Amino acid sequence: MKPAKSNKFYDRISNFYYFIEPFFKSQNNLLIDKVNSLPKGKLLEIGIGNGKTLEFYKNHKITGIDTSMAMLNKAKMYLRCYEHIELICMNGENLLFKDDRFDYVILPHVIAVVDNPNLLLSEVYRVLKPGGTLIILNHFTPNNFIKYIDRIFNPIAKLLHFQSIFYESELTALSKFKKIDNISCDVFGYFKLLLFLKL
């Protein structure tokens, strides 16, 4: 989910997005496996990019949103044959859905690029059904040598509209949820797949 101020940036890179995807393939495969292990339900993914992950989610009624129209148009073209997938232009920090609507909400590589991550999480909490599951796939700055790389890369990251220095502890809105799983996606503990339950 891209913040409104960076829509033009993500519109511009939409034609090159396919070259970025291979770097996230192993992480996305973990996400897909986890989603497919869940019982059938209504699923919302925030920040779908070109939408290519959605076709691999099985058994769910899917709503995908993004604020970049260029990305969304590519997703609509790619997923045009999938009747169980609905795509909408919408900001995750201001979800236009009723309370308690979804069984699952997925945030794939998105929480570090929005303007207000805690506002996003509050909106996610609102639209999740009681007992619903939040899944976050993202990088988190670990307490090892990677944190120094994050600091060096931070000026470039700002130009790319995301936070390279990013800590789970800063996501105070997660206190509303109960963490039920914490899966490391690499040996350095940089990328994580986190699962939370709405009580």
- pLDDT digits (tens), the chain, 199 positions: 444 555 555 555 545 556 566 678 889 999 999 999 999 999 999 999 889 899 999 989 999 999 988 889 999 998 988 989 999 999 999 999 999 999 999 999 999 989 899 999 999 999 999 999 999 999 999 888 888 788 887 777 677 667 888 899 999 999 999 999 999 998 788 899 999 999 9
Q: Report which of 66, 48, 162 is spatially closest to residue 115, judged by C-alpha positions.
A: 162
Q: What does the chain come to in residues? A: 199
Q: What angle do CA 45, 46, 49 make, to 5 degrees?
A: 95
φ/ψ (deg, to 5) at 58: -105, 150
Assess contact for 77 and 53: CB atoms under 8 A: no
Q: How far apart are CA 7 and CA 66, in angstroms?
A: 10
CATH superfamily of 4-198: Vaccinia Virus protein VP39 (3.40.50.150)
Structural domain boundaries of the chain? 4-198
Q: Report which of 68, 63, 164 is spatially closest to residue 109, judged by C-alpha positions.
A: 164
Q: How far apart are CA 83 and CA 11, in angstroms?
A: 25
Q: How far apart are CA 5 and CA 11, in angstroms?
A: 11
Q: What pLDDT sits at residue 3?
A: 43
Q: How far apart are CA 28 and CA 154, in angstroms?
A: 24
Q: Where are the alpha helices (DSSP H) in 37-172?
A: 69-78, 117-127, 146-159
**pTM for the whole structure:** 0.87
Cα 154 to the center of its chain, rounded Å:
20
Q: What pLDDT sits at residue 8?
A: 55
The tokens 């120094």 sit on which residue? 148
